[in-house]
Amino acid sequence: MASQPPFDELGAHVSAAGGVANAPGRARDIESVVLQLFTKQPNRWAEPVVDDETAQAFRDAREDHEIQVAGAHDSYLINLSSPKEELWGRSLRSFTAELNRCTRLGLDFLVTHPGNATDGDMEAGIRRNAEGVQRALEAVGEGPTRILLELTAGSGTSVGASFENLAAILEGIPDGLQERVGVCFDTCHAYAAGYDLVEDWDGVWDDFQRILGLERLGLIHMNDSKHPLGSNKDRHEHLGEGHLGAKPFLRLARDERLRDVPKILETPKDDDVVTSDLRNLGLLREARRADP
């Protein structure tokens, strides 16, 4: 294998169609060494098992394509904040299986939505979420995968739409497991939740540092928003084509505080996946090459 290229932290969520071993090649099709994938169909409860052959094939492909950071997003069905005992138990089993697959594949991170406290009791939902994360980590044991709690858009009874919510979940996890958890910051979700990345970029990140600490930041999802500030609607748009516009993404590309944090596109793929991702990544890459 050739020596690794310099770290370019810009990547995308890529398809694992045909098997997870196909994902690293798709990342390199968009000139990236960073990727996110699904280890299963995200809208089904079925839990595939990663056997030794599959794990080795992925690891080999990752090495062959010089992928430096790889992670997964968990199932959309999981709700570790649910007050319903049956759903919470099923969610815990699914989340534990997801973490186990990630560990076997050697993935660096697992992004999870904190879920919904459908009884309206946010504090109880936060406690349930922290317990679920703790139990999954203890069940799977040591491994390379860091769980990243994703900031949510704040619709309905959603847990995790504020830095304070995320901090409370993290505080509920025992000290011995703290190094295995962190935060994923989604630009669309943040804007929808009321964090004004357009007019108050530095203020938002100052608040993040004060409440969570930048050392907790494990990943950034780069998405424009189809809806305005504070809408609480999670609808992604191409970079520069939504209500966020190009300005915050140009700031993102140049902000040295965030330079080494992996960044993943979850923007629309349109008819041509590679062209769509290259166009979105191009906005950031051009900003890097241009004078600030």
CATH of domain 10-289: 3.20.20.150
Q: Where are the domains of the chain?
A: 10-289
The pLDDT confidence band at residue 1, using thresholds 50, 70 and 90, is: very low
User: What is the per-residue pLDDT for 2?
Assistant: 47
The pLDDT confidence band at residue 289, using thresholds 50, 70 and 90, is: confident
Longest dimension (CA), the chain: 55
User: What is the per-residue pLDDT for 288?
Assistant: 85
User: What is the per-residue pLDDT for 6?
Assistant: 58
Residues 6+ apart with CB under 8 A from 74: 42, 94, 95, 98, 110, 111, 112, 113
H-type alpha helices, the chain: 23-29, 52-64, 85-105, 122-140, 163-171, 187-192, 201-211, 247-254, 273-289
> Span 103-114, mean pLDDT?
98
> Span 210-222, mean pLDDT?
98
pTM: 0.96
Asked which of 2-6, 209-213, 218-222 is least confident by mean pLDDT, the reply is 2-6
Per-residue pLDDT tens over the stretch 160-210:
999 999 999 999 999 999 999 999 999 999 999 999 999 999 999 999 999
The pLDDT confidence band at residue 290, using thresholds 50, 70 and 90, is: confident
Asked which of 2-11, 272-281, 282-291 is least confident by mean pLDDT, the reply is 2-11
Which tokens go with 222? Answer: 């780069």
| d(C-alpha 90, C-alpha 2), whole Å | 44
Residues 6+ apart with CB under 8 A from 64: 1, 24
Of 6, 10, 88, 96, nearest to 47 by C-alpha is 96
pLDDT of 291 above 60: no
* Sign of CA pseudo-dihedral 157, 162, 164, 167: positive
pLDDT of 4 above 60: no
Of 262, 246, 166, 266, nearest to 201 by C-alpha is 246
> Span 111-128, mean pLDDT?
97
Give, in order, the Cα–Cα distances in Å from 102 to each of 4, 70, 173. Answer: 23, 10, 20
Which tokens go with 117? Answer: 């406290």
User: What is the per-residue pLDDT for 287?
Assistant: 87
Per-residue pLDDT tens over the stretch 23-74:
999 999 999 999 999 999 999 999 999 999 999 999 999 999 999 999 999 9
